[in-house]
Amino acid sequence: MTKPPKRLLIIAGSDSSAGAGLQADLKTAQSLGVYAQTVVTAVTAQDTRGVHAVHLVPAEIVRAQIEAALGDIGADAIKIGMLGSGAIAGAVADALRGNDLPLVLDPVPLSSSGTMLLDEKGIAILKSRLIPRALLVTPNLPEAQALVGILPDTGHALRNAAQAFALLGAVNILFKGGHGTGAMVRDVLVCGGKETIFESPRQDTAHTHGTGCTLATAIACGLALGEALPEAVRKAHAYVQEAIRRAPGLGGGSGPLGCGV
C-alpha cells in the first residue's frame, strides 16, 4: 500500500492570475510532494499589474471549509495568507481554537501593488489571536511596518521590530527582504532570540508575483514533512530563488514564478 502523503491546509484568497494566493500555494505544495487542501477566503480579480476587485467569502463558509478539511482528511501543517476582513479572521481563529498543528502565518494587510486586503478589525484579530497562535510569522518589510510600526530595514530596526512582534505573542518571525535594497536579498529568521540569515543575490527581474505566498507555503510544507523550522526556512528560501529564475515571463507587470525544483 502506498504511504499517504503529508497534508497541508491552506487558508487564503484566490488569485485569478494564478501568480499568488491559493493557486501559487497549490503549485508549490504539489511540487514539494505535499497534498494541499484549500480554504477560500476571498475571490480576487487581479493580474500581473494589480488587484482590480475583491469579493469576500462569507465568514461562516470559511469556517465550514476549515472544519470539513480538518474533520476528514486532516492536516500536518497549516498556512494562512489573505483573510480579507475581521469577520473572516475571527472565524479562522475560532475554527483553529484548540488546534496545535504547526501554523505559518503570512500576514497580508495589503497587496504588493498597495491594495488593502484586510480591514482594521481584521488586523486587530491578526495581532491578538493569530500571531500568538502561529509557529512562524512571515512579514515582508512593508507588512512589518504596517503591523508594528517599525520598518526593519537595518539590523537595529529589525531587532526592535522582532521585540514588537514578540510583545504580540509571536514565537518566531521571518523578516522577508525582497522589498529591501542592495545586491543581496536577505531573509532573517528570529527564532528563540537567535538571528539566522538566508541570503541570495538579488535577481534583476520584474517577475516576482507571489514570492511571499510561495515562501510561506514552502516553509509550511517543510514543517508538514517533519523538518525543523530553520531547515524548512533554508529550503524554502532556496526554492523561491530558483522559482524566480524559472519565471515564465508572463504578463505586462510583475509576472508569476516558475517551479522551484
Provide the β-strand partners of residue 194: 191
Catalytic residue of the set 213, 214, 255, 260: 213
- Residue 214's φ and ψ, nearest 5 degrees, are -65, -45
Catalytic residue of the set 27, 79, 127, 176: 176
Active site residue 181: no
Q: 23-48 b/e with 16+ CB inside 10 Å = b?
A: bbbbbbbebbebebbbbbbbbbebbb
Catalytic residue of the set 21, 122, 210, 222: 210
> Comparing C-alpha atoms, which of 79, 83, 82, 129 is closest to residue 104?
79
> Comparing C-alpha atoms, which of 138, 6, 165, 148 is closest to residue 81?
138
**149: alpha, beta or left? (left if phi > 0; alpha if psi -120 to 50):** left
Active site residue 50: no
Catalytic residue of the set 44, 211, 214, 217: 211
How far apart are alpha carbons 250 and 261 in whole angstroms? 19
Contact 101, 139 (CB under 8 A): no
Active site residue 221: no
Catalytic residue of the set 38, 41, 138, 208: 208
Active site residue 222: no
Catalytic residue of the set 19, 21, 212, 260: 212
Active site residue 196: no
> Which single residue is written with the C-alpha cell 529550503?
235
Active site residue 211: yes
Q: Annotated active-site positions, please? A: 176, 208, 210-213
